[in-house]
């Protein structure tokens, strides 16, 4: 067995083991099974929030409601440990972690009274799961789209992202869409040094920026959610759904844009220009 497969199998087995001396209790809903060993009220809050997030995310992505998606035996399992320490022991996550998701087995883990989990991590990880169920792994789906969808599901980020994006734009460190597509953010660390092109200036040229990895990561994720929010807010959820569907079916980014947004966004450059106009507007 390969090391990575062994680690994944180990995490999955640990996930199903409750805290020592306790047994899992279950709360079932339409799309989730929440397992807990401590505070039932918190587990019920998680169940209620998860169903609400599900409706919003599925609506944004246009996932067919009649597809038996995440129902019956396909319901996603959420494990709520009684405290941070037991969660960390079971998950192997770093000490700052509020929760995690096992995408292969559709399981999410956290601990009682983790508000960071309820408000941010739960919708974020659910969006990753729903998005990948929708688009799969075979098409040319850019990483920024996956990460942007996951962040767009977080209510707080959704409310502030336009103002935050505009602030970065004003500072002159905004990345071009082309470089957003090319950059593999998963390989960037805080100590990385990255050369990246900016958006076009007033004279139509792009400048070449050399930035530290921590800055690149911050700007990349802000732009990812900003771009997804622009596509959904400005052109509507149904066009965004079609855009994702075309990527899922194997079209390139440029061709998917042409198909989903005909006469409005027919190239990557047009996407960038329309997005910037949106950010600079009221």
Q: Transcribe 81-102 into DSSP letters.
A: ESSHHHHHHHH---TT---EEE
Quick one: 243 and 203 in the same domain? yes
CB atoms within 10 A of CB 122: 24
The more confident residue out of 68 and 62 is 62
Quick one: 129 and 158 in the same domain? no
Region class of 250: left (phi > 0), else alpha (psi between -120 and 50), else beta: left
For the segment 43-71, the average pLDDT, to the nearest whole number, is 83
Q: Which range, of 27-41, 125-139, 170-184, 262-276, averages the lowest pLDDT?
A: 125-139
What tokens appear for 33 in the block? Answer: 């099974």
* 37 neighbors 43 (Cβ within 8 angstroms): no
Q: Which domain holds residue 41?
A: 3-135
Quick one: 26 and 123 in the same domain? yes
Number of domains, the chain: 2
The more confident residue out of 202 and 41 is 41
* 117 neighbors 91 (Cβ within 8 angstroms): no
> Sorting pLDDT into bands at 50, 70 and 90, what band is 12?
very low
Q: Which range, of 130-139, 178-187, 192-201, averages the lowest pLDDT?
A: 130-139
Quick one: 113 and 150 in the same domain? no
What tokens appear for 82 in the block? Answer: 């009684």
Quick one: 158 and 42 in the same domain? no
CATH for 114: 3.40.30.160
Quick one: 126 and 7 in the same domain? yes
Quick one: 193 and 272 in the same domain? yes
pTM: 0.84
Domain termination residue (choose one: 116, 135, 154): 135
Quick one: 177 and 81 in the same domain? no
Quick one: 180 and 126 in the same domain? no
Domain termination residue (choose one: 135, 167, 183): 135
Quick one: 243 and 275 in the same domain? yes
Quick one: 65 and 155 in the same domain? no
* 213 neighbors 188 (Cβ within 8 angstroms): yes
Domain termination residue (choose one: 105, 135, 165): 135
Q: What is the pLDDT of residue 18?
A: 65
What tokens appear for 232 in the block? Answer: 């959904």
Quick one: 276 and 150 in the same domain? yes
pLDDT at residue 154 greater than cutoff 70: yes
pLDDT at residue 81 greater than cutoff 90: yes
């Amino acid at each position: 067995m390969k090391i990575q497969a062994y680690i994944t199998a180990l995490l999955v087995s640990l996930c199903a083991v409750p805290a020592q001396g306790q047994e899992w209790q279950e709360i079932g809903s339409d799309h989730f099974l929440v397992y807990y060993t401590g505070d039932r009220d918190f587990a019920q809050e998680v169940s209620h929030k998860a169903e609400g997030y599900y409706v919003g995310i599925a609506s944004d992505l246009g996932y067919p409601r009649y597809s038996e998606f995440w129902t019956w035996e396909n319901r996603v399992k959420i494990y709520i440990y009684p405290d941070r320490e037991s969660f960390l022991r079971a998950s192997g996550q770093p000490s700052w972690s509020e929760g995690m998701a096992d995408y292969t087995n559709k399981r999410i883990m956290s601990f009682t009274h983790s508000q960071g989990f309820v408000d941010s991590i739960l919708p974020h990880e659910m969006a990753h799961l729903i998005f990948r169920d929708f688009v799969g792994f075979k098409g040319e789906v850019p990483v920024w789209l996956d990460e942007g969808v996951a962040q767009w599901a977080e209510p707080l980020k959704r409310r502030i992202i336009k103002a935050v994006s505009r602030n970065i734009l004003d500072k002159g460190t905004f990345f071009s869409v082309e470089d957003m597509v090319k950059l593999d953010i998963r390989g960037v660390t805080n100590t990385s040094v990255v050369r990246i092109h900016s958006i076009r200036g007033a004279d139509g040229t792009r400048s070449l920026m050399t930035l530290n990895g921590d800055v690149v990561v911050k700007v990349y994720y802000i732009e990812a959610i900003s771009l997804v929010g622009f596509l959904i807010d400005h052109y509507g959820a149904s066009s965004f759904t079609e855009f994702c569907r075309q990527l899922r079916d194997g079209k390139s980014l440029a061709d998917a844009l042409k198909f989903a947004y005909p006469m409005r966004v027919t190239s990557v450059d047009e996407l960038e220009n329309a997005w910037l106009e949106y950010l600079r507007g009221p």
